[in-house]
A = this chain, B = another copy of it.
Amino acid sequence: MSSLGSKWKPVIVMVINDRKLRFGQIAARIHVISRKVLTDQLREMVEDGLLIREEFKELPPRVEYTLTEKGLALLPILNLLEDWERNYETKEVLAEA
């Protein structure tokens, strides 16, 4: 599962979802990530075929990201992972109470 080998990539896939988002919009939705780390993650995800990067030669320059078919196919699996984690988090909290 090499193309998901970071804690941020699944989060970025779920944040973008079926939308077209600019760098700043992604950064604002994952406010704990640094701009440097986000930039690196986005570049790797473009290289791995998860994201499409569109650059518009405007002033100021505009860059938009969307998920590829491969990235979109990942969404339902990540939703299952989120359900799994939420389910067992709840059980752990109840067990500690």
Taking Cβ atoms with an 8 Å cutoff, the residues of A that contact B are: 1-5, 7, 10-11, 49, 70, 73-74, 77-78, 80-82, 84-85, 87-88, 91-92
Contact = CB atoms under 8 A, between A and B. Distances in A.
Q: How many copies does the complex hold?
A: 2
Contacts of A80: 77, 80
A75 B4 CA distance: 17
B81 A77 contact: yes
Question: DSSP majority for the A interface?
Answer: helix
A74 to B, nearest CB: 6
17 contacts: A1-B11, A1-B78, A1-B81, A1-B82, A2-B7, A2-B85, A4-B81, A49-B88, A49-B92, A70-B84, A70-B91, A73-B84, A73-B87, A73-B88, A74-B84, A77-B81, A77-B84
A70 B88 contact: yes
